[in-house]
Amino acid sequence: MGSERDVESAYSVNGVPIRLTYERWFHITVNHDDLASYYFEVLEAVEKPDFIIMGNKGSLKATKNMGKNKWLVVVYR
Q: How many residues appear in the chain?
A: 77
Rounded to two decimals, the pTM is 0.86
Residue ranges making up the domain that contains 66:
4-76
Which is nearest to 76 in space by CA: 60, 57, 63? Answer: 60
Q: State the pLDDT at residue 41.
A: 96
Q: How many domains does the chain have?
A: 1
Q: State the pLDDT at residue 23.
A: 92
Q: State the pLDDT at residue 4.
A: 55
Asked if 7 and 24 touch (Cβ cutoff 8 Å), the reply is no
**Distance, CA of 28 to CA of 65 (rounded, Å):** 20
Q: State the pLDDT at residue 52.
A: 97
Asked if 38 and 67 touch (Cβ cutoff 8 Å), the reply is no
Per-block average pLDDT, block size 10, for the chain (77 residues)? 70 95 94 95 97 96 96 95
Q: State the pLDDT at residue 7.
A: 87
Neighbouring C-alpha atoms within 13 Å toward the C-beta of 19: 10
